[in-house]
């Protein structure tokens, strides 16, 4: 979703400053203040330091997104490298009366921030703090919905592995404050777009708004874009159910990472998409078909400007980044009676948004020896030697190419793009 948004803006002529942050400290099991830090949990599980865990999984993630052809962000900050700035923003919130120091943490006082639920539109309940959670919470916490800005190395966090000195004691930052600090440092006090999953609306993004606007005194975000969940076989994706797939598993099943990218382009980001292996296979087949048709247009001559088609494409991507609609326009164009050269050049241009590496995948050249085999096969077919022609077809396919007969001619293409 983030890559699509960025590519769309850049296609439309905007300059984009893109930040993708890595949460390498303070991210507890839930969006709230309960549970164990995920980094420390992973460190104990694998016998590594939290820093090593972060490095390992960031490297895996970056390899995956590179294979999916995501553009490199302008900045990729990590909270562990922003501790002085985090402490400074917490100090500002304390000075302004939006935060208070309790026994176990520094908390943000949600009662001091009017419009706390303006993003989620939820009604805050008066339930008791910690009720039903099965653990003792900070008794000095004033309100159930107050959230931690800085956890102290005390209580359940006595054995915390990642800690720093602060004016309030040794500890580590909460997840929400990290995002506010990094967005301010790299994008300014008011940012144009903030992206994320719908699950972050009621807690994480709500808290980001509160602490950012309280500390900076200006509107935090102009536009919030929330993507829906990806389902697997019509159920929530879950590792415990064996449906939390890694890209390596997709590749192991013989799929190209760009097949998965094409699959994602088929649904609008605000709608739930259902992943099935059959659905991915259909996407792979469609992508191969698209590239096969475009390959046939290589070397053609004709007009290159298609203003009416361009208008339709732009209307689609300007319609809340509707990639599925834009993809439909591309298919209409490919199947149209426009000149082959114009279709190919237009498709290559639009791929700046789709990110399917069309030019790169069409760049495969047919070796002369394969062309010679195809020509010989054509001659044998003309002589009614279909057995000999079929043997040559098999040899061509063994070398990774296919022959398509077209009326009185033929085309040789790569077997797979």
Instruction: State the CB neighbour count (10 A cutoff) for residue 308.
Output: 9
Residue 255 DSSP SS3: coil
131 pLDDT above the threshold of 70: no
CA 334 to chain centre: 28
Q: Quote the CA–CA distance of 371 and 213 in Å, as a whole number.
A: 66
How would you write 111-138 as a 3-class SS string? HHCCCCCCCCCCCCCCCCCCCCCCCCCC
Domain borders along the chain are: 2-227, 253-362, 368-414
pLDDT value for 32: 62
Residue 365 is classified by DSSP as P
**Is the sign of the CA dihedral 288, 289, 290, 293 positive or negative?**
positive
Please, which residues bridge with residue 409 across strands? Answer: 406
47: Cβ contacts below 8 Å, ≥ 6 apart: none
What CATH code would you report for 253-362? 1.20.120
Confidence category of residue 127, pLDDT binned at 50, 70, 90: very low
pLDDT value for 305: 80
Average pLDDT on 377-391 reads: 90
Note the pLDDT tens digit of each residue in 321-359: 999 999 999 999 999 999 999 999 999 999 999 999 999
CA distances from 27 to 35, 277, 319 (A): 9, 32, 34
pLDDT value for 128: 44
Looking at every residue in the chain, the average pLDDT score rounds to 91
Note the pLDDT tens digit of each residue in 240-261: 788 889 999 999 999 999 999 9
Tell whether pTM > 0.85: yes
190: Cβ contacts below 8 Å, ≥ 6 apart: 216, 218, 219, 220, 221, 222
- More confidently predicted of 166 and 134: 166
**What is the assigned CATH class of domain 2-227?**
alpha beta
Confidence category of residue 43, pLDDT binned at 50, 70, 90: confident
Average pLDDT on 6-10 reads: 98
357: Cβ contacts below 8 Å, ≥ 6 apart: 69, 258, 351
| Residue 96 tokens, joined | 């302004």
290 pLDDT above the threshold of 90: yes
């Amino acid at each position: 979703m983030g890559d699509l948004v960025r590519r769309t803006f850049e296609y439309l002529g905007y300059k984009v400053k893109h930040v993708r942050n890595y949460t390498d400290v303070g991210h507890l099991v839930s969006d709230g203040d309960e549970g164990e830090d995920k980094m420390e949990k992973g460190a104990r599980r694998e016998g590594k330091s939290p820093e090593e865990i972060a490095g390992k999984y960031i490297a895996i993630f970056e390899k995956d997104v590179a294979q999916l052809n995501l553009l490199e962000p302008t900045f990729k900050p990590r909270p562990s490298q922003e501790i002085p700035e985090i402490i400074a923003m917490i100090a500002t919130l304390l000075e302004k009366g939006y935060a208070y120091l309790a026994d176990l943490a520094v908390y943000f006082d949600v009662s001091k921030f009017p419009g706390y639920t303006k993003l989620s539109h939820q009604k805050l309940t008066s339930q008791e703090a910690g009720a039903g959670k099965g653990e003792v919470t900070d008794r000095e916490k004033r309100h159930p919905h107050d959230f931690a800005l800085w956890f102290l190395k005390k209580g359940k966090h006595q054995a915390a592995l990642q800690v720093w000195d602060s004016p309030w004691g040794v500890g580590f930052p909460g997840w929400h404050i990290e995002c506010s600090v990094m967005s301010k440092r790299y994008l300014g006090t008011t940012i144009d777009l903030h992206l994320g999953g719908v699950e972050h609306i009621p807690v994480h993004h709500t808290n980001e708004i509160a602490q950012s606007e309280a500390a900076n005194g200006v509107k935090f975000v102009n536009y919030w874009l929330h993507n829906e969940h990806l389902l697997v076989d019509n159920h929530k994706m879950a590792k415990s159910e064996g449906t939390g797939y890694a890209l390596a598993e997709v590749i192991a099943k013989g799929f190209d990472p760009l097949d998965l990218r094409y699959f994602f382009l088929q649904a609008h980001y605000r709608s739930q998409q259902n992943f099935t292996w059959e659905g991915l296979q259909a996407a792979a087949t469609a992508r191969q078909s698209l590239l096969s048709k475009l390959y046939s247009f290589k070397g053609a001559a004709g007009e290159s400007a298609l203003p009416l088609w361009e208008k339709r494409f732009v209307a689609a991507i300007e319609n809340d980044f509707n990639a599925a609609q834009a993809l439909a326009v591309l298919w209409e164009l490919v199947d149209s009676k426009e000149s082959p050269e114009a279709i190919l050049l237009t498709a290559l241009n639009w791929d700046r948004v789709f990110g399917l590496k069309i030019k790169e995948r069409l760049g495969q050249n047919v070796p002369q020896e394969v062309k010679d085999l195809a020509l010989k096969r054509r001659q044998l077919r003309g002589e009614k030697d279909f057995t000999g022609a079929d043997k040559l077809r098999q040899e061509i396919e063994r070398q990774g190419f296919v022959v398509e007969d077209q009326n009185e001619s033929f085309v040789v293409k790569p077997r797979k793009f």
